[in-house]
Each structure stands twice: as structure tokens, then as C-alpha cells.
Structure 1
């Protein structure tokens, strides 16, 4: 059985998907971009600010499911320019200070709304 988990504290989906799906005790969080919740505004002031917004959006969804960053077991990071990896990684590390999850980082040619970074995760709740 699956349960859809959505929150107004993260951006509404911009397509036919849910913010997250809980299947058993596994939470699958859809890729998050730097949309400011409740608006159509992207936070693109810097790659650091953009990454923080992505992580905050992911955190709001985790919280709605009764979890937090410590519950995350896997992240997927998609970037439009691997040259930003160091800055993205530094911000990402602020949210996973101990026992970080498994992950991959992949450079792609384009992301939704032409953002620079998108992150999804899988968590155990």
C-alpha cells in the first residue's frame, strides 16, 4: 500500500507527480528545485542560495512524513554544470553532518525551469 505525502511548506508539483510517496516504511521524495513554496518564484541568487532552497524544500517534505535528514538513506543530485559541484557539495554537507546517505551526482543538459540543481531522496521512516 502506498500513501501520498504532500505539504504546503514545499513547492506544489509542476507536473503529474506527488511531492513524495510512502510505501511501507520507505519514503520516496521527488526531485526538488529552488522554487519558493507558495509562489512561482525561483531562488537563483547564487548556487549556494539555490541549493539551500532545494534542501529546505526536501526537509519540509521529510518533516511532513515524520522524518528529517537523518532518515535519508540515498540522494540523487542532478546539476547543469559540474563546475558548481564544490559549492553544491558544501551546502549539501551542512544538512548531512554525520552518517551521510549514499548518493550520486550527475551532470545533465537541462533541468526543469532551467535551474542549476535538483535533488531527490529516499528515506526510511
Structure 2
């Protein structure tokens, strides 16, 4: 890859799979998909889907910060993956509380299954310019 930098931070879960936590390409940070995994323990967080949404967003923010950004404030696009669209409204409440009045563009899809059988995963794009 030319002019890209793989990102690594202790603030988001890491694993031994063949992908980066994120990649910085110029002024754009591409954040890999994260479920509600605590980076300190490597375990899925306990709690409801709101608590899991919060953990996912903390993981995303940590990668953006590792790129030199301002966490969620620099996020311009998010894809949300839910295993049950019945969680949609509850996820929106937790998500909206973090993004406020100027949320990023977003896609939300229901999927049949996610790694570790978590209920939610997100990936993101942040602009750092």
C-alpha cells in the first residue's frame, strides 16, 4: 500500500487476525469493525445493547485518536451491523447521545451473525483534515 499507515492502539481490542485496527490514508482514517469487546480484558462487555453500543463507540473513538484525530468528533461515516433490528431504537438512543446534533452519515443493516455472537458491530470513516 502506498502512503498509508496501519494504526495500533491499546484503547481498542486487538487480535491475531490479518487486518489492522485502522488505517490512516492521508487525512482519512478507516476504522475496522468493532464489537463490544473490552480492550483490557478481551471479553465482550456485559449489559444491554445500549452498554454494548457505548463500548463499540469507545473502541472506534480510540482508533481515531490513535490516528491523531479527535475521537468521534471526526467521524463522518458509520456502518452499524445488528443481529436483531428490534434493537434499532435502543441503539439509536445510545448512538445519538454520543454524536449529538451533527451525527455522521450512517448505514444500519441486520446481519445473521457477528463474531463472538455479539449483537452489534460498527466500522467507521473519519476525516482528520
Report the TM-score, using the length of structure 2 for normalisation: 0.92
Structure 1, unmatched stretches of 5+, are none
Partners of 2:68 and 2:103 lie apart in 1 by 19
Structure 2, unmatched stretches of 5+, are none
Task: Tell me the equivalent position of 2:50.
Answer: 48
Task: Tell me the equivalent position of 2:39.
Answer: 37
What displacement does 1:8 show? 0.6
Candidates 97, 111, 115, aligned match of 1:94: 97
The within-5 A match list for 1:1-125 is: 1-67=3-69, 68-125=71-128
Partners of 1:69 and 1:50 lie apart in 2 by 16
SS at match of 1:87: helix
Partners of 1:107 and 1:20 lie apart in 2 by 23
Report the TM-score, using the length of structure 1 for normalisation: 0.95
What displacement does 1:98 show? 2.4
Partners of 1:19 and 1:40 lie apart in 2 by 14
Q: How many residues align?
A: 125
Partners of 1:50 and 1:114 lie apart in 2 by 12
